[in-house]
Amino acid sequence: MEGEEQPPQEADMETGVTSGASASVPRVLSGEAQNLSDADAFSLLLEMKLKRRREQPNLPRTVTQLVAEDGSRVYVVGTAHFSDDSKRDVVKTIREVQPDVVVVELCQYRVSMLKMDERTLLREAKEVSLEKLQQAVRQNGLMSGLMQMLLLKVSAHITEQLGMAPGGEFREAFKEASKVPFCKFHLGDRPIPVTFKRAIAALSFWQKVKLAWGLCFLSDPISKDDVERCKQKDLLEQMMAEMIGEFPDLHRTIVSERDIYLTYMLRQAARRLELPRASEAEPRKCVPSVVVGVVGMGHVPGIEKNWSTDLNIQEIMTVPPPSITGRVSRLAVKAAFFGLLGYSLYWMGRRTVSLLLSLPVAQSCLQRASGARPGP
């Protein structure tokens, strides 16, 4: 049947076979039933993958190649989060190198964007509701939750200006990775609650107020040409860098520390791949793996810088306890909030009572009550 001839045709679709394809791997013959062991089936699919993998891939200019100590190769695609070109760059890179692992700049708290359609994401990104604020505060605490919502406002501003939902390159990476045999998909970013809590802890009270003010009044128009001109530095991260440029500690927690975390996750993914064995008696054989990383363009220089250095990942995963100043400022904010709330309720109550007493019915009742009062 014609359907049985598809696997060898797929394997021969691309020329330029890389090293690692074994000539002893059994092939499926048309018209014949095959009884393949699990190891043979694995080897057949692996051979198909290696045949499609380019030894000298034709990669976009946004790709940076890194090599691990064991020879594993990592292709880091620097993207703009609101760019159609970045989507195409990701698709092309994955198809060219046929990776064993794809790592994206997402954490478990943002993984939902991989499965949502573009229209839903566009609507969700534009809506910064009270419900989202309450969820962010419950998840990250008051100050971190407010900071998260302010950053979401920045993303919503770009979304509204461009009519394009963020994270399109990650969704394309997810789709393409599912088409590559034995390709794993890893979330490579630090959990967002840790990032926000460390960012808030790094700022003084007045720095938090100043930053919040700048984020609240963001309204500059953005065009699609602006996005593509920022291809060498992601637009969202560039806008954030401009706003937090006067806060070095904030830049360290939001950008530099995540560079370290992303580098660590890419190095963890770039481990040698164990080939299947026909039997337990056969010695283990490992080959260098191929990894594709999809990250914002602003993180690429930091990943290159940290690639060959010793990384202390525990240090950037701890959340420092709040300082005395921080605790006092939080208490002051809460006291001011509840004070304003109490005064508002008091003022509204007085105003409501005054309005009720000014009604003719209320006046008549008061007059009757005063007339019915017994004399001395």
The tens digit of pLDDT for each residue in 93-145 reads 999 999 999 999 999 988 888 887 767 766 665 565 556 666 666 666 655 66
**pLDDT tens across 181-214, in order?**
889 999 999 998 898 888 878 777 777 777 666 6
Sheet of strand 73-79: strand arrangement: 63-67, 73-79, 290-296, 101-104, 184-187
Cα–Cα distance measured from residue 154 to residue 238, given in angstroms and rounded to the nearest whole number: 12
Instruction: Answer yes or no: is 214 within a domain.
Output: yes
**pLDDT tens across 212-230, in order?**
666 565 555 655 566 555 5
Number of domains comprising the chain:
2
Pairing of strands 273-274, 286-287: antiparallel
Question: Is residue 342 pLDDT above 70, yes or no?
Answer: yes
Residues 232 and 87 in one domain: yes
**pLDDT tens across 43-73, in order?**
777 777 877 887 788 999 999 999 999 999 9
Question: Is residue 320 pLDDT above 60, yes or no?
Answer: yes
Residues 196 and 231 in one domain: yes
Instruction: Answer yes or no: is 66 within a domain.
Output: yes
What pLDDT score does 91 carry?
97
CB atoms near residue 197 (< 10 Å): 21
Structural domain boundaries enclosing 338 = 324-348
Residues 174 and 200 in one domain: yes
Residues 335 and 308 in one domain: no
Residues 239 and 343 in one domain: no
CA 98 to chain centre: 23
Instruction: Answer yes or no: is 310 within a domain.
Output: yes
What pLDDT score does 105 carry?
96
Question: Is residue 6 pLDDT above 50, yes or no?
Answer: no
Instruction: Answer yes or no: is 368 within a domain.
Output: no
The token pair at 42 is 């694995």
Question: Is residue 373 pLDDT above 90, yes or no?
Answer: no
What pLDDT score does 202 carry?
79
What pLDDT score does 220 carry?
58
> Which alpha helices (H) appear in 113-223, and where do they start and end?
118-126, 130-140, 142-162, 168-177, 192-201, 205-216
Residues 299 and 338 in one domain: no
Residues 168 and 64 in one domain: yes
Closest to 195 (Cα-Cα) out of 327, 105, 326, 319: 319
First CA to last CA across the chain, in angstroms? 114
Residues 190 and 334 in one domain: no
